[in-house]
Structure 1
Amino acid sequence: MIKFFRTIRYNLMETGKTTKYFKYAIGEIILVVIGILIALGINNWNENRKSKLVEKDVLNNIYENLGVDSIQFDYYKNQYKQIDKLHLDLYRYGIKNETIDSISEPVLIRRTLYFKQLITSDFKENLYTINNQKIKKELVSYIGSINDMETIYRIQLVPLINGRLKPYLAEQELYNAENWFELKKRTIQSDTFEEITGKNIVDKDKLLALAKTKKFQQLLFEVNAKWNEFYTRLETVIAENNDLRALIESELKTY
């Protein structure tokens, strides 16, 4: 093809048809420019297609991760409600002198969560591959809310339970060491504490007696306040998780 155009140029120049030659040259330049633009357009289309495929994979992965997060949140809610009920029972019995037929599993007083990190560095890096600005904005907000919740739990609540509450319970001799060592399985993983039902690790009667003291009630107040602060953050995270999943699900339908 190049040889063909070159032959035409030589013939025009040799016959002295300068005007026609220049017209032809301009036309050839235009064709070359059009060819370049078409090639660029095809390349851009191909790159956009690849980018969309990457973005689709990222959104699918985020959507799946949000689903896993949601399951984790259900676990947190379940644990919080059990712990909060125990705190309220101990308050009603200790301060208001109400009769308590039974209390939640006493060991819940020292309970902490099986808490996993929800947001990883890879998760954050995926932000740069998302073009939908609304999704990106919601995702940034979600990451911020997760960090707030984790800060309350890891930096404030856990040190309070491990550093103050648990040692205090030990000082007051509330732990049933015999019941603990008699357990066939001493790793507590069940959400419902089935492994220790009927074998209280924390002495129920001593816990109720301790609930009558001002020092314990002051400590209970601090722990419960932090649990409620954590739960408030958790509710925000759950709402954002639901909204974000709905938004991503709608976006994925456009691919």
Structure 2
Amino acid sequence: MFLFFKKIKKKLIVENRIKNYLVYALGEIVLVVLGILIALWINNSSQYYQLRKKEQTYLIGLEKEFLITQQKLDTLIKINQKNIQGAQEIVQAMDQRPIEISERQFSNLLYQALAFDISLNSNNSLLTEIINSGSLKDITNQELKQSLTTWMATLEDIKQQERDQEDQRQALLDFFKSDQYSLKTILNEVGVLESNQEKSQGGTGNNMDLLNSVAFENALLLFIFSAEGTDKSHYLPLKEDIEKILSLINQEIED
């Protein structure tokens, strides 16, 4: 084709048809520019496709991570609420005069309140990789990008709250490190130490005096305050954050 245009150009010059030659030259420039623009468009389209494909891979992986975290959080919320309920029932029993709760009932409530620690082990390996590699810029949804940016800071805040709650839990368990009260009694009463349908014998004591202890009551109330804070100020808002992130991810994932 270019050979054809060269022949026309030579013919125009020979015939001294300057005006027509200029039109031809302009057309030739236009063709070159169009060719460059088309090449750039193809290249940009290819890059956009690759970035979009990369983003989709990230989104699918992030969806899996946040779904797992959501399941873990739902389980922790239930456990923590049972902890709170058990501790609150002990406080209510301490307010009764005369105290009507039995050793077995007391042991069951203590076990319910203190047996399980609270810790959200969120798997954020992919999100950490995305942030550390600078690939967060490839997330096109700005609201989702902002939520992912603040996610790690939110988790660290929750970790601090969980540590505070664990400190209060340990303060209650410390009462059973002395010779005055028996952890074995609790475990026997709730059936943890039962073997062949026979309770473990020996070394058991009575923990009922704790129900008259102001120090124990204060420690119990501090534990309740901390657990309530974990539930209402941290876990429930985090649950809403996860639901929002999953909704935004779902909007961006292509069918």
After TM superposition, the score normalised by the length of structure 1 is 0.77
Instruction: Give the structure 2 partner of residue 149 of structure 1.
Output: 158
Seen in structure 2, the aligned counterparts of structure 1 residues 249 and 33 have a Cα distance that, compared at 3 Å, is: same
Q: Distance in 2 between matches of 1:214 and 1:204?
A: 23
Q: Distance in 1 between matches of 2:223 and 2:204?
A: 19
Does residue 76 of the first structure (1) align with residue 83 of the second (2)?
no
Instruction: Give the structure 2 partner of residue 91 of structure 1.
Output: 91
**Does the residue aligned with 2:212 lie in a helix, a strand or coil?**
coil
Tell me which of 130, 139, 143 is aligned to 1:130.
139
Give aligned-pair identity as a percent: 19
Report the Cα offset of residue 2 of structure 1.
Answer: 4.1
List per-residue Cα deviations over 1:143-201 (Å, max 9, x = no partner). 444333222113x2223434x33333312443229x69xxxxxxxxxxxxx9827579x
Does residue 112 of the first structure (1) align with residue 97 of the second (2)?
no
Structure 2 gap segments, 5+ residues each: none
Structure 1 gap segments, 5+ residues each: 181-193
Q: Distance in 1 between matches of 2:32 and 2:149?
A: 46
* Aligned positions of 1:1-255 closer than 5 A: 1-97=1-97, 99-100=100-101, 102-103=105-106, 104=108, 106-107=110-111, 108-109=113-114, 111-120=116-125, 121-122=128-129, 124=131, 127-140=136-149, 142-154=151-163, 156-162=164-170, 164-171=171-178, 172-176=180-184, 196=192, 198=194, 206-232=206-232, 233-253=234-254
Q: Distance in 2 between matches of 1:127 and 1:212?
A: 56
**Does the residue aligned with 1:196 lie in a helix, a strand or coil?**
coil
Q: Distance in 2 between matches of 1:49 and 1:85?
A: 53
What is the aligned length? 236
Is the Cα–Cα contact under 8 Å of residues 81 and 231 in structure 2 kept in the other structure?
A: no
Q: Distance in 2 between matches of 1:240 and 1:167?
A: 36
The one-letter amino acid of 1:111's match is F
The one-letter amino acid of 2:139's match is I
Is the Cα–Cα contact under 8 Å of residues 56 and 252 in structure 1 kept in the other structure?
A: yes
List per-residue Cα deviations over 1:39-92 (Å, max 9, x = no partner). 111211221122222222212112111210111012201211221122012111
Instruction: Give the structure 2 partner of residue 186 of structure 1.
Output: none
Root mean square deviation of aligned Cα: 3.2
The one-letter amino acid of 1:228's match is E
The one-letter amino acid of 2:117's match is T
List per-residue Cα deviations over 1:186-243 (Å, max 9, x = no partner). xxxxxxxx9827579xx99744431320011111111221111111110111122223
Seen in structure 2, the aligned counterparts of structure 1 residues 112 and 17 have a Cα distance that, compared at 3 Å, is: same
Q: More deviation in 227-236 or 144-153?
A: 144-153
